[in-house]
Amino acid sequence: MKKLLTYLIIILTLSSCGTKQHVVKQPATKMDVSKEIVVIKNNYSKVIPAAVYPKYQHIDDYVTKSTPAVYSIDSLICVELSKRNIDCRIIDEYSLLGNTSNYIRYQDYWAWDFKKYMHVLKITVYDPDNNEIISVASEGNTAGMHDYPNPEKQVPLLIDLILKSN
């Protein structure tokens, strides 16, 4: 009985630590991957309090402050798109976008639990007319146990999710 209880605790602990990826909004139209995708650089990361694990849908209600970008997520997105033979470039928020490219906006949310970690990352793809094509999110576990999600692990999974849903 003691062994069974020990195994059960280990299984529950390990299974509750995973970061999950979600399709927040299904594609309304197809994304044209033959054209360049522009990533709009986000200069700010949002911070949530320690020991608070909100779901991605409500995380903006828990933001306590914005800080200069914790990580260069725009570069990671472009690297992942390039690996999949999709042209990509990064622009500043106020640069001219042009009217032929799909573009990506993202927001990262960070918390602290022995070290800083990315609790949620939201990526949204828009068409040239500013219509949302697809939105995805990576979410750390909301039960308090997590695997310290980071952009290097989550961006490739989210880009795959975007392209598979397309």
Q: Is the pLDDT of residue 154 over 50?
A: yes
Which ranges in 16-123 belong to alpha helices (H)? 73-83
Task: Report the alpha-carbon distance of residue 81 to residue 89 in Å, rounded.
Answer: 10
Tens-place pLDDT, residues 70-115: 999 999 999 999 999 999 999 988 776 666 689 999 999 999 877 7
Query: Distance between CA atoms of 55 and 57, rounded to whole angstroms?
Result: 5
Q: Which residue has the tokens 């939201």?
A: 122
Note the CATH number of domain 19-165.
3.30.160
The model's pLDDT over 37-57, given as tens digits with 9 standing for 90+, comes to 999 999 999 999 988 888 889
The structure's pTM equals: 0.82
Taking residue 44's Cβ as centre, other Cβ atoms within 10 Å add up to 13
Which letter does DSSP use for residue 79 in this model?
Answer: H
Kindly state the tokens that stand for 148. Answer: 């310290």
List the Cα angle 2/141/50 in 5-degree steps: 105
Residue of 5 and 37 predicted with greater confidence? 37
**By CB neighbour count within 10 A (0-12 exposed, 13-18 middle, 19+ buried), where does 91 fall?**
middle
Q: In the chain, where do the E strands start and end?
A: 20-25, 37-40, 44-47, 65-68, 88-91, 102-112, 116-126, 132-139
Domain ranges of the chain: 19-165
* Matching residue, tokens 């960070």: 110
Could you tell me if 125 and 141 are in contact, meaning their C-beta atoms sit under 8 angstroms apart? Answer: no
**Pairing between β-strand 88-91 and β-strand 132-139 as defined by DSSP bridges:** unpaired
